Amino acid sequence: MDIENKTIWITGASSGIGMELCKQLAERGARIVLSARNQERLMEIAETLPGGRKQHWVVPLDLAEADKLITLVEAQLAEIGPVDILINNGGISQRSLFVDTDLAVYRKLMDVNYLGTVAMTKALLPAMIERQQGMVVSISSVAGKIGSKLRTGYSGSKYAVVGFMDCLRAETAHQGIQCLTVCPGSIKTNIAVNALNGSGQAQNKDDESIINGMPVEKCVQDIISAIIKGRDEIIVGKGISALAPTIKRFFPGLFNRISAGMEYR
C-alpha cells in the first residue's frame, strides 16, 4: 500500500517504534492520528511532524480500557474521516519469573497488548471493510514466536496477537484488507525500562539485549517497506533475536535447550 495522503492511526505514538513510525510515515506524506496515554508528549511529537498539528490528530487513550476504546475511537471518525491503516503498536513488556509474578500482571499484559489491539481493530476495521480497502498492522514480537525466561505474560500476550492476526487475515483476505504482523527482536527503545516486574511496577532499568539492539530508525524502515510491499508477516531485528524463530522452527529441541540455558534479558 502507498503511504502518501493516507490516514494512519498509530497507538504507542509517544515513544520508541511508534514515535519513529509517526516521523517516517509523515515524511512520506501521511496524515497521522497519534494515540497513547501521554497527551502532552503526543502534542509535542505532532508539532514536530511535517504539516504540524494542522495535518495530524492527537487522540489520547488507554489501551487497558478496551471497553471504552471502541466508543472513544468511533467518536473521532467524523472529524478524522476514513482511516486507511491502523498500526496496533502500543504495548508493555515484562521481566519477571512466573513464580514471582502476580496474576494482575498477566491481566494487564493481556489487556494492553492483546485486548487493546482487538478493540482498536474492532473500532476501525468495519469502515475499511465497507470501503473494501485498508490495512491492519499489529506489532507483536519475536516473543510472540518463541519463549524465553522472564516473559511468560508478555510472550502469552504476543502469541495471542500473532494468532489473532492470522485468523483476521484469513477472514478479510477477500474483502480488500491486508493484515501485517510485525515481530521485532531487540530494538533500542524504552521497552525494557518500562517493562513490568512481578508486582506490576516498571523495572526502570535497561537490558543488555535492548542496549545492543537494532536502531529504531532501521526497524521502522523495515516495517514501512513491509507495508508498501503488502507482506503478511515480518521478523525485524539483528543477531540471535531475529534468528531465534527460524532456529525454533527447524530445530525445536535444540532451541528449547538453548532457551533453558540462557540468562537472556
Ligand X SMILES: NC(=O)c1ccc[n+]([C@@H]2O[C@H](COP(=O)([O-])OP(=O)(O)OC[C@H]3O[C@@H](n4cnc5c(N)ncnc54)[C@H](OP(=O)(O)O)[C@@H]3O)[C@@H](O)[C@H]2O)c1
Residue from 91, 134, 156, 245 in contact with ligand X (CB under 6 A): 91
The contact pattern for ligand X, residues 51-80, with x = CB under 6 A and - = no contact, is -----------xxx----------------
- Quick check: 156 binds ligand X (CB under 6 A)? no
Q: Are 11 and 90 in contact (CB under 8 A)?
A: yes
Determine which one of 106, 114, 154, 159 is catalytic: 154
CA pair distance 6, 85, nearest whole angstrom? 8
For 25, 67, 217, 224, 245, the CA distances from 227, given in Å and listed in that order, are 11, 29, 15, 5, 21
Q: Which residues pair with 182 in a beta bridge?
A: 139, 234
178 or 189: CB nearest ligand X: 189
Residue 15 backbone dihedrals phi, psi, to 5 degrees: -160, 160
Stretch that binds ligand X, among 45-53, 87-95, 124-132, 168-176 (CB under 6 A): 87-95
- Told to judge if 114 belongs to the known catalytic residues of this protein, a careful annotator would answer no
**Alpha helices of 140-239 — where are they, by DSSP H?**
152-172, 191-194, 208-211, 216-229
Residue from 21, 45, 46, 89 in contact with ligand X (CB under 6 A): 89
16-27 and 216-229 helices, crossing angle to 10°: 60
- Quick check: 169 binds ligand X (CB under 6 A)? no
- In whole angstroms, the minimum distance from the beta carbon of 224 to ligand X comes to 15
Query: What is the number of the residue whose Cβ is closest to ligand X?
Result: 16
35 or 257: CB nearest ligand X: 35
Q: Beta-carbon neighbour count of residue 246 at 10 Å?
A: 13
The contact pattern for ligand X, residues 95-114, with x = CB under 6 A and - = no contact, is -----------------x--
- In whole angstroms, the minimum distance from the beta carbon of 175 to ligand X comes to 26
155 or 178: CB nearest ligand X: 155
User: What residues have CB less than 8 Å from 192, skipping those under 6 apart?
Assistant: 93, 95, 203, 205, 206, 207, 209, 210, 265
- In whole angstroms, the minimum distance from the beta carbon of 54 to ligand X comes to 23
Q: Which of residues 190-209 bind ligand X (CB under 6 A)?
A: 190-191, 194
116-131 and 66-80 helices, crossing angle to 10°: 40
Q: Collapsing DSSP states into helix, strand and coil, what is residue 174? A: helix
- Active-site positions read 154
Q: Which residues bind ligand X (CB under 6 A)?
A: 11-18, 36-38, 62-64, 89-93, 112, 139, 141, 184, 186-187, 189-191, 194, 210, 213
